[in-house]
Amino acid sequence: MPAIVTNKFRIHNAEQFKESFSEASPNVYYMMLGRPQAYATSTRGDSRTENEGSDAAPITPADDIVSEFYQFDEAIAAKKLNRNPTELILDVIDNADDSGIKSAENFLNKTGTITSEKSKLDYPGTSKNNYVRSIFDQLFYGPELYNKIFQKNSMFTERGLMENDDIIVSPKLIQVLKKRFSDKIAVVTGRGYNAINSSLKEILTQFNVKNSVFLEDEPRNLAKPNPESLIRSIKGLNSKNCLYVGDSMEDLIMAKRASELGYQTTFCGIYGSGKLPEVKKKFFVEQDVPFILESINFIPKALNLV
């Protein structure tokens, strides 16, 4: 059966749509996303409930100006700050200190402009009530691991984003390090145990898991660059001089703070494991980092172990 709408008509509409962005008075488009889960009675972050109808009888869409404006207003809540996003991010960075995310939150709290958004999103609540965090966890972990960690089903079926990780720690590297350091090799990571175990699998068993710290499973105030987690690991390993390997500014700050508190820590900066490696290398050089390596696999050579 021939198409009622011809290809020429479709192409014409597509070209008109594209041109509408560059006109003297360009159109403004807003995209709304539908719900992927079944309808039910939901509990909001503030403990109030909302009847969402059912699959067989969903709530009839509102057809009035007030309801339509409410949805419009919610969709553009991010514009409330009335600031250039780049300038705001730079301001947050300028006001950050070694308390990490806490300093960013304190700065934003002082602006007084996102209080209502934090309340609506139940920030920084648990994944159960925090909508943004819940969606991120579902996308990051994937349905199987998300169910294992949170004992609930994910709204998504796609494989987790964490499965795209490039595992650079090799069994050969761990074998060389263990010959020199025995069981005094541990992990202090921002991820949780289940996530790391899923990524590293058998390799994780070669670390001293008992004296490792998986910060996602810990209170938020322990997040990097708070040195408490690193100090806990150092104490557990009974280490006199720790070599801490990391690839970020917060890793460097954490290592420095641990040393300042009396737990001698030498930082090794890895610059080739992420984006903009030359920028990261330059930063480490400017910070006088004693060990700067492109890859973690160069550690044995740097320590004269091979």
Give the dihedral of Cα atoms 202, 208, 209, 213; nearest 10 deg: -130
Q: Provide the β-strand partners of residue 69.
A: none
Report which of 249, 243, 217 is spatially closest to residue 230, judged by C-alpha positions. 243
Contact 251, 226 (CB under 8 A): no
DSSP state of 293: E
User: Model's pTM, two decimal places?
Assistant: 0.65
> If you write DSSP's letter for every residue of 85-100 in order, what string do you get?
HHHHHHHHHHT--TTT
Between CA 122 and CA 140 the distance in angstroms is 20
165-206: per-residue pLDDT in tens? 888 888 899 999 999 999 999 999 998 999 999 889 899 999
Contact 185, 178 (CB under 8 A): yes
Which of 41-55, 96-110, 278-292 is predicted least confidently?
Answer: 41-55
Q: Is 53 left (phi over 0), alpha (psi -120 to 50) or beta?
A: left
Taking CA 83 as the corner, what is the angle to CA 77 and CA 85, rounded to the nearest 5 degrees? 85
The two tokens of residue 75 are: 């969709």
Collapsing DSSP states into helix, strand and coil, what is residue 137?
helix
Domains, the chain, with CATH or none: 131-164 (no CATH), 171-302 (3.40.50.1000)
10-57: per-residue pLDDT in tens? 777 778 777 777 777 767 776 666 666 666 665 544 444 555 666 666
Contact 284, 260 (CB under 8 A): no
- Our measurement of the distance from residue 288's CA atom to the centroid of its chain's CA atoms, rounded to an integer in Å, reads 28
Give me the helix-helix angle, 228-237 and 249-260, nearest 10°.
60
